[in-house]
A and B are shown apart, each in its own frame.
Chain A
Amino acid sequence: MLLDDGRRVPDLPLDPEEIGRCRELAAAVTDPVLAFVERHTTVSIERTVLRLLGMNGAGPGGVPLANLAVDELARRGLLGRGAAWWFGLALREGAAAPADVAARIASLPERAPKVEPSADREIRALVAEETRAAVAELRDRVARRDGLRRELGVGPRPHRYLIVATGNIHDDVAQARAAAQAGADVIAVIRSTAQSLLDYVPEGATTEGFGGTYATQENFRIMRAALDDESRRLGRYLQLTNYSSGLCMPEIAYLAAVERLDMLLNDAMYGILFRDINMRRTLCDQHFSRRICALAGIVINTGEDNYITTADADEAAHTVIASQFVNEAFAHRAGLPDRLVGLGHAFEIDPAREDTIARELAQALLVRTLFPAAPIKYMPPTKHKGGDIFFAHAYDVMADVIGAVTGQGIQLLGMMTEAMHNPLLMDRFVALRAADYVGRAWRSMGGELELRRGGLVEARAAATLHRARLLLEEVAREGLFAAIGKARFGDVARQETGGKGLAGVVERDPDHFNPLLDLLEAR
């Protein structure tokens, strides 16, 4: 098969009817969820709208103004009309600065004040105009990013994705520059552990984090500025990614768009399964955040690799494929074209078994073949790594080879010290050196190899696809909420009304007003 970027991968014959059926089923899974999404909003979506309208920064006690305002509205039961409407009311009554708007919202009466229809129309027109201007400004920033990217060009695929995670954004910058000089194409700043459970986005530059660095607008800005500088020095555009996941998916997507990030981790189900975030909340938030990614040309990275770090990678291979069809359907429904849908998977089969390469190759090629226009993101082994760095290094090289032969789009490089600590400078260097060698050495081999008809690889891929279809049949029949309740994905069961953040899901009033969503949906 010839890929868009000119690479060739071995042909994998698959049953087109089975593939078509999987896509129909994925649509059947997502339709009822989207119907729910369209009747609701969330505190994080509403905060995003306020931020777009200029309500950035923090108030007393470091609480972001957007949180202050939205919490006040939610407490009074006024959020169903949309925070933008109340923002407009405050503007109309003379509020000048964002802090002033937040203060006026905080002093609203407990019951919604009556407004004349003409005033209502004025409020909506005023805020719609503000929104259009803010979105135009956002597009300008995105265009600047795309301009630099076009000017300098990006490295060949797969793009080598490296992680920095010192906890201090300034140290992260030094590590990111070093990684870029050694060949990294994408820098991911891992977040401080548990940030996904914060129902606000912290403010400012941060120098203390655990297992990572807080995602803040200022940290995004600092890293993007450093990468712009390094991109120019190296003559190669360096991409930046972070996490639009957890309780602030839409806000992070917006702040990332403002600060010109290139990619975001963003999965429709990850937060539900692995962070116990309420499923209604996540499914609403993922839709809105993906609409922002579509506007800003941000490549999303989905998290199917996580299923096979909990469940057995060999037995659960089909859950990855089924979830990718679902993630793809959600992404398309949010307006993301294939080129922005970085579906995720991983090289995670237990290396103590025999013939794992045939099955890894089958899986990687299956994903590549099913989603030919998507920049597939390939994750390295993590689960079966111990402290033996020499074995781990050899193991990572195998994943690099599979990534090269099967034409993956984005390759996260494994760290030989995976099981020990956050990557050190030398860990990245060693990984990049091996990946560089593999990329060069295997350059054309994907187009040279032909799979034996009916052999191990072909049979395994067909069987996995078939099992994915059976799982999708089941999920479509039961509904996504119920299927997650039965641990169909990642061996984790969650209930529709359980988990964190459910209180932040609010039914839209009939006169709900979200001018950003109106613009995003009109695209």
Chain B
Amino acid sequence: MSRAPSEAGVVRPYGDRRDDGAVQLSFVLPLEAGARAREAATAIARQLGLEQVHVAAMERAAEGFTFFVVYARTAAAVDLGALEVPEVTLEHRGFDELNAHALRAVGRRIVVLGACTGADAHAVGIDAIMNMKGFAGDPGLERYPCLDARNLGAQVENVDLARACGAAGADAVLVSQVVTQRDVHRRNARDLVEQLERLGLRGRVIAILGGPRIDHRLALELGYDAGFGPGTRPSDVAAYVVAEVIRRRGTGPGP
């Protein structure tokens, strides 16, 4: 392992020394535990490009299934300068300041609709962002005087949500997708964008996608304006919505 300081902008996994490349992983093999299974686990790790493979644990998980914990070193390195990272950039203000700023710049309350769409019944995410109470001490969008935030709840059909956007004159729509089995979230998320387009609303409404398996890149790919993943606070979404509405009106600096 090289002791030399890494080149500027190149990073590698870190265990206890810079650039040692230490990684941990765990997996199950459909095998009975034993010398052969241990060797198979080691070979899998080597095929992943890992070196100094140490099978730290091999436990029988069930008949014909064995659980492994593996520590190893990787030579993989990443040049940060070569990465392209779509990111929602946010300018955070205090709660009162954001409200005053938005009301001054927009002159009315910004209409935001939120829903968990399609067959998805998991309202936890949309509730955490929209509902008055918010999440982890961060108040929800319903609490913002500058926002007219309406949570339509779970299992809302895309076509109904698109129509509701038209009827309410929505500035932004928040869509939460929690169930991701067999990529149902992708199809469903894209469908809302199509419904908005069909009604001629896509240009007028800021479309935002959120959920535990969502990131900004995926959201852009699916035709949304922004994506928010795990750990998002309501204040992140509020800051983005306000800045984007103002940007689109051409009455303020961009987000």
A, B co-complexed: yes
Chain A contact residues, CB within 8 Å of chain B: 167, 177-179, 181-182, 193-194, 196-197, 208-211, 274-276, 309-312, 350, 352, 383, 386-387, 419-422, 424-426, 429-430, 433, 491
Chain A residues with CB under 8 Å of B63's CB are: 177-178, 181
Residues B62 and A167 in contact, CB atoms below 8 Å apart: no
Closest 6 CB pairs of A and B: A178-B62, A194-B119, A429-B61, A181-B62, A211-B179, A426-B28
Other A-B pairs beyond A182-B62, A208-B182, A211-B181, 8, CB < 8 Å: A167-B182, A178-B62, A178-B65, A181-B62, A194-B155, A210-B181, A310-B127, A430-B67
Chain B residues with CB under 8 Å of A491's CB are: 131, 133
Residues B124 and A383 in contact, CB atoms below 8 Å apart: yes
Tally B residues with Cβ within 8 Å of A: 31
Chain A residues with CB under 8 Å of B120's CB are: 193-194
Chain A residues with CB under 8 Å of B213's CB are: 420
On whether A196 and B121 interact (CB within 8 A), knowing A211-B181, A387-B230, A429-B61, the answer reads: yes
On whether A422 and B127 interact (CB within 8 A), knowing A178-B65, A491-B133, the answer reads: no
Q: How far is the CA of A310 from the CA of B135 in the complex (A)?
A: 10
Residue from A178, A276, A422 in contact with B181 in the complex, judged by beta carbons closer than 8 Å: A422
Chain A residues with CB under 8 Å of B136's CB are: 350, 352
- The closest CB in chain B to the CB of A424 belongs to B28
Q: Could you show 12 A-B contacts with beta carbons less than 8 Å apart?
A: A178-B61, A178-B65, A181-B63, A194-B155, A274-B121, A274-B123, A275-B121, A386-B231, A387-B230, A425-B65, A429-B28, A429-B62
In this complex, which of A193, A420, A430 has the most chain B Cβ atoms within 10 angstroms of its Cβ? A193
B180 at the interface (CB under 8 A from A): yes
| Chain B proximity of A297: nearest CB distance (Å) | 29
Interface string of B164-186 (1 = CB under 8 A from A): 00000000000000011110100
- The closest CB in chain A to the CB of B132 belongs to A491
Interface of A is mostly: loop
Within 8 A of A (CB), among B105-126: 119-124
Q: How far is the CA of A310 from the CA of B62 in the complex (A)?
A: 35
Residues A419 and B133 in contact, CB atoms below 8 Å apart: no
Residue from B121, B124, B231 in contact with A309 in the complex, judged by beta carbons closer than 8 Å: B124
Interface string of B45-76 (1 = CB under 8 A from A): 00000000000000101110101000000000
Chain A residues with CB under 8 Å of B122's CB are: 193
Q: How far is the CA of A194 from the CA of B155 in the complex (A)?
A: 8
Q: How far is the CA of A209 from the CA of B213 in the complex (A)?
A: 19
On whether A426 and B26 interact (CB within 8 A), knowing A181-B62, A194-B155, A491-B133, the answer reads: yes
| Chain A proximity of B247: nearest CB distance (Å) | 31
Chain A residues with CB under 8 Å of B145's CB are: none
- The closest CB in chain A to the CB of B230 belongs to A386
| Chain B proximity of A56: nearest CB distance (Å) | 26
- The closest CB in chain B to the CB of A419 belongs to B212
Chain B residues with CB under 8 Å of A419's CB are: 212, 230
Residue from B28, B123, B124, B127 in contact with A425 in the complex, judged by beta carbons closer than 8 Å: B28
Residue from B62, B121, B182, B230 in contact with A194 in the complex, judged by beta carbons closer than 8 Å: B121
Q: How far is the CA of A482 from the CA of B39 in the complex (A)?
A: 65
Residue from B67, B127, B154, B155 in contact with A429 in the complex, judged by beta carbons closer than 8 Å: B67
- The closest CB in chain A to the CB of B64 belongs to A178
Residues A193 and B179 in contact, CB atoms below 8 Å apart: yes
Q: How far is the CA of A415 from the CA of B126 in the complex (A)?
A: 22
- The closest CB in chain A to the CB of B188 belongs to A210
- The closest CB in chain A to the CB of B179 belongs to A211
| Chain B proximity of A49: nearest CB distance (Å) | 29
Residue from B62, B123, B133, B212 in contact with A420 in the complex, judged by beta carbons closer than 8 Å: B212
